[in-house]
Structure 1
Amino acid sequence: MTIEIGDGGIVIDATLIGPLLKVAPEDVPKLMRDGALTSLCETGVGDDAGTYRLSFFYQGRRVRLQVTEAGEVLRRSIVDYGAAPLPQAMHRPGG
């Protein structure tokens, strides 16, 4: 599974992020439209130039993917607070 990065934006298949967020892939588009599942994209600078950090937030869970301009996933991380909400600081760039 690759991530498509182009002039129109970044497209990620729900089958990639759904399981990481403990969400059925078919539910991802609706959760995003409803604002329950949110995302943040950061562009790498300095040593990280040529990469993007994509963060996804749903309930008490944050998933981060560091990807190349070609859409290859270099790293992924998951923070899970369980039933507790994520701290607001985790929703900010670099947080």
Structure 2
Amino acid sequence: MTKKELLEAMAKAAGITQADADAALGALIESISGAVASGNRVAIPGLGTFEKRERAARTGRNPQTGAEIQIAATSVPGFKPAAQFKAAVAGEK
């Protein structure tokens, strides 16, 4: 599903214009991104939980030369799906 298709589905389901759906989707993404970047968890019942995860520094390999390289520690976004979402994807609904 593309963003355009998602906006069309949102607009139809909510009975709003596509412009309003685009604004709502943009606000949702911005709100989740900002909260997770600040270290907060965002739980959406029926969908899942977004959170910030720490990835430790480690040694890796350059695939072209085989030389060892140091990969710095970093923060990455994480998502844990809710049981309802897992069941829907698995067709167990």
TM category (shorter chain) comes to under 0.3
Query: Which structure's residues are more often helix, by fraction?
Result: 2
Structure number with greater Rg is 2
What is the TM-score of this pair, normalised by structure 2? 0.28
Query: Which structure's residues are more often strand, by fraction?
Result: 1
